[in-house]
Amino acid sequence: MFFTKAGRVVAWLALTFGIARIAIALIVIQSGDPSLVPRYLGSGTTGQAIDQGFYVLIFGIVLGVLTDISRSLANKSQDQP
């Protein structure tokens, strides 16, 4: 059960950081100043930052689904005699 709880925490963090990275990239795009990209995003372009944000977001979603499956299987095995 420890790994399920740890996985849920990591999934929430991944979702949060993925959304934050995408949002920051969109804010930098709206600013119109290309010199802000390496300072705030640490990548070559805003497109790369958005791609990385989506990868982290998808990772968080997949990990969250897997931890929900793990929780339901653990609850199911505890209910059986």
Closest CA to 60 of 23, 20, 7, 4: 7
**Helix (H) / strand (E) containing 45:** none
How many whole angstroms separate alpha carbon 20 and alpha carbon 22?
5
The answer to whether 4 and 70 have CB atoms below 8 angstroms apart is: yes
Contact of 70 with 7, CB cutoff 8 Å = yes
pLDDT of 18 reads: 96
**Does the pTM exceed 0.95?**
no
Q: Residues 14, 52: contact at Cβ < 8 Å?
A: no
pLDDT in tens, the chain (81 residues): 889 999 999 999 999 999 999 999 999 889 888 888 888 888 888 899 999 999 999 999 999 999 999 999 888 887 776
Number of CB atoms found within 10 A of residue 18's CB:
20
